[in-house]
């Protein structure tokens, strides 16, 4: 029997971040864009959470809301408690004591994030001087050690180089070094492996995981790729249309996913055992208009398993029977008779057309 989830969280020992009914809307000429629309979750100290979804799902806005990196057009409600302190709505001056020292972020594109006119050593040393009060000599020595920690060869040489002199993977390592400089307790990694080749992607993700364990640091890994978070997170939260549609421990999610959207994301990942030129399964349609979202389930217009109820009634977050740590929002979840009947039809059609599962 399914039990509805209580949306009010309780702070427990070990919880670093608690987000309750968070809403981030933006004023536009067309109306309010509901970029994040009622998201609730907690993150324990030292744990890694993957936030997964397509472009426009709200995952990046969610992380920037928690960090306090939003434009003046944002309209906020709900609660974000970091280490027991309410931080939602604090201005940049009030957040400055948290940035770097408590919360830090690795951005998607290091070539844009790094100052192309400043030597790397100075870029790493600056936050140490500003936030920790180090003098120039100590900050430079620490910057060299940080470069060594993120496995950059000849770190003493790199301090005097500019960003354009490094490869994409090396620049991303520098961004990680900057993010780790002041010893944050929470690190956001927003699509940290985009535009990197597969081998370098694995190295960057392994590096973040290694630093998390060494520092007992919590990590929120934001990505569109379920494959990226598979071996590098403790839990996964799947977002769609500004809402949380499934959340579970990583192994549980892959073994027993319930949301058809999660299933669709999984099927769109290329697989090594597929023959060359095997057609990938895609998700038809476009993400919802967040100014005028559809009635019912926001995924229903694109969902091959949707029925009339899905288009009329919004499904609440529901727990998987016997597992309080796995929630989903779907009237006909994966494994239900209605889902399995339709899924068999879809996979038969794909097989006949030459695609693969």
pLDDT tens-place string over residues 106-140: 987 766 788 999 999 999 999 899 888 999 999 99
SS3 74: strand
Q: How does DSSP classify residue 29?
A: T
Could you tell me the pLDDT band of residue 274, with boundaries at 50, 70 and 90? Answer: low
pLDDT tens-place string over residues 275-323: 666 666 678 889 999 999 999 999 999 998 999 999 999 999 999 998 9
First to last CA, the chain: 30
pTM, two decimal places: 0.87
SS3 247: strand
pLDDT at residue 9, rounded to an integer: 41
pLDDT tens-place string over residues 311-331: 999 999 999 998 999 999 999
| pLDDT of 91 over the 50 cut | yes
Contact present, 196 and 172 (Cβ < 8 Å) = yes
pLDDT at residue 11, rounded to an integer: 41
Q: Token pair for residue 47?
A: 């744990």
How far apart are alpha carbons 38 and 22 in whole angstroms?
Answer: 5
pLDDT tens-place string over residues 135-193: 999 999 999 999 998 889 999 999 999 999 998 888 989 999 999 888 899 999 998 87
The residue among 256, 243, 245, 324 whose CA lies nearest residue 6 is 324
Contact present, 127 and 178 (Cβ < 8 Å) = yes
Residue with tokens 């979840």: 333
Q: Tell me what the mean pLDDT of segment 77-84 comes to.
A: 96
Burial bucket for residue 6 (CB in 10 Å: 0-12, 13-18, 19+): exposed
Contact present, 237 and 247 (Cβ < 8 Å) = yes
Task: Specify which residues 218 forms β-bridges with.
Answer: 186
């Amino acid at each position: 029997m399914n039990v509805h989830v209580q949306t009010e969280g309780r702070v427990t020992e070990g919880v670093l971040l608690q987000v309750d009914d968070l809403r981030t809307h933006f004023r536009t000429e067309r109306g309010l864009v509901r970029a994040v629309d009622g998201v609730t979750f907690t993150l324990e100290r030292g744990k890694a959470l993957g936030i997964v979804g397509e472009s426009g799902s709200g995952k990046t806005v969610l992380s920037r809301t928690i960090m306090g990196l939003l434009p003046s057009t944002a309209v906020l409600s709900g609660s974000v408690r970091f280490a027991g302190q309410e931080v939602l709505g604090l201005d940049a001056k009030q957040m400055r004591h948290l940035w770097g020292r408590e919360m830090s972020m690795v951005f998607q594109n290091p070539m844009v994030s790094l100052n192309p006119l400043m030597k790397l050593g100075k870029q790493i040393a600056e936050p140490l001087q500003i936030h920790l009060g180090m003098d120039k000599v100590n900050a430079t020595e620490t910057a060299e050690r940080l470069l060594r920690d993120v496995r950059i060869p000849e770190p003493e040489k790199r301090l005097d180089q500019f960003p354009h002199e490094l490869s994409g993977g090396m620049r991303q390592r520098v961004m990680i070094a900057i993010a780790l400089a002041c010893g944050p307790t929470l690190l956001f990694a927003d699509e940290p492996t985009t535009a990197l080749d597969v081998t370098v992607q694995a190295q960057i993700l392994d590096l973040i995981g290694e630093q998390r364990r060494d520092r007992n640091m919590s990590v929120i890994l934001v990505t569109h790729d379920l494959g990226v978070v598979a071996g590098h997170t403790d839990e996964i939260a799947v977002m769609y249309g500004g809402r949380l549609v499934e959340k579970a421990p990583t192994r549980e999610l892959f073994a027993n996913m319930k949301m058809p959207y999660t299933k669709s994301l999984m099927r769109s990942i290329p697989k090594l055992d597929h023959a060359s030129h095997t057609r990938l399964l895609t998700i038809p349609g476009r993400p919802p208009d967040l100014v005028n979202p559809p009635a019912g389930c926001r995924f229903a217009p694109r969902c091959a398993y949707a029925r009339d109820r899905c288009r009329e009634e919004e499904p609440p977050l529901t727990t998987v029977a016997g597992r309080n740590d796995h929630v989903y929002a779907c009237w006909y979840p994966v494994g239900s008779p209605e889902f399995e009947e339709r899924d068999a039809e879809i996979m038969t059609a794909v097989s006949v057309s030459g695609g693969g599962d």
